[in-house]
Amino acid sequence: MTPGIYIAALALLAAAAGLAALWQRRKAGNLGRQLDYIHEKLGMIIDRKTNERLLLFSEEPQMRRLLTDINRLLDHNHSGNVERARLEQSLRRMLANVSHDLKTPLTVILGYIEMLERGGENGIPEEERLRMLGMIHRKAEEVIALMNRFFDLAKLEAGDTELPLSRTELNEAGRRGILAFYELLESRGLRVEIEIPEEPYYCLANAEALDRVLANLLSNAIAYGSDGGVVGLRVYAREKQVCAVVWDRGKGIPASEQNRIFERLYTLEDSRNRGYQGSGLGLAITKRLTEQMGGSLSVDSVPGQGAAFTAAFPRMRERL
């Protein structure tokens, strides 16, 4: 190699090295700016508690993967914040409802006790005194029943309640449910439509829990759907499930409420202004009992046309 060519080669190598160094410095500078952006943007998102994401274009595959992971983490954090806010709101509503549901009967109890104390033994006729004592007794039972429902729900949610499952006939459970509410249905003047086939349908369930599920659904239909004048119970079978549907023709449930009615202590906005006042525990307990038996509980409702609750359970063959 001649000296001229050798010198030219060295110059090219030097130029290439210089360009490479320049490119590396620019790359490092660009990376630094990108990291600064990520740092500042994340700080703003955390301080302002927004649900923004990182928007940054990068040619580096490692940086793109990092941005993807950070945005996934931000999305997860946002979902957690939304769920936490929902739970906090639910807790506040629960506390307000608990206060209301306990305060009402206790206020009645204290009022009658005060009247009895003021009246003394001779100041109140015996018949009136007995009526007051009867009212105190009934209201005290309401408080005890409400507390028992709280404990039942707490045990179900904690998984402390074991339900031994066995082959159970859904048809017969439906008949027992209707008979248990016959007097109440008759006293309310409600028409009853029953569709229970003669062919027995069996499911894997707990007989006592199944009776309670149907009783809660029938009680709910009578309480909230009696405006429609009719309550129905239908039992039918699918390929792998047997179902019990309790329906009414009352005012129904708004679409915005249907995903929330199974929450503990949730009641419809107007329910406390009606003749019946629920605790907001019945449907929550019903859903958890159904799910603990391997079933599912769903609602289908059109406002102004009524509501239908379907409890579905794993089907078992008719003969062992």
Q: What does each of the 320 residues of the chain score in pLDDT, given as a tens digit?
A: 565 554 554 445 555 555 455 445 555 557 677 777 777 777 777 777 777 777 766 667 777 777 777 778 778 877 777 777 776 776 676 666 667 667 778 888 888 888 888 876 567 888 888 888 888 888 888 788 777 767 776 677 666 667 788 999 999 999 999 999 988 888 889 999 999 999 999 999 999 889 989 998 998 899 888 888 999 999 999 889 999 999 999 988 888 787 778 776 555 544 433 344 455 677 888 898 899 999 999 999 988 899 999 999 999 876 55
The residues, ordered by sequence, that sit 6+ positions from 72 with a Cβ below 8 Å of its Cβ are: none
**Residue 199 has what pLDDT?**
92
**Residue 237 has what pLDDT?**
93
- The residue behind tokens 């459970």 is 173
**Residue 5 has what pLDDT?**
52
81: tokens are 């914040």
**Residue 314 has what pLDDT?**
92
What pTM did the predictor assign? 0.59
Between CA 233 and CA 223 the distance in angstroms is 15
The DSSP element (H or E) to which 4 belongs, if any, is helix 3-48
Cα 31 to chain centroid distance, Å, stands at 46
**Residue 95 has what pLDDT?**
66
Are the CB atoms for 217 and 181 separated by under 8 Å?
no
186: tokens are 């008759």
Are the CB atoms for 244 and 310 separated by under 8 Å?
yes
Q: What does DSSP assign to residue 132?
A: H
Q: Look up residue 153 and give its amino acid.
A: L
158: tokens are 């904690």
Domains and CATH numbers, the chain: 3-81 (no CATH), 97-158 (1.10.287), 166-316 (3.30.565.10)
Cβ burial, residue 246 (10 Å; 0-12/13-18/19+): buried
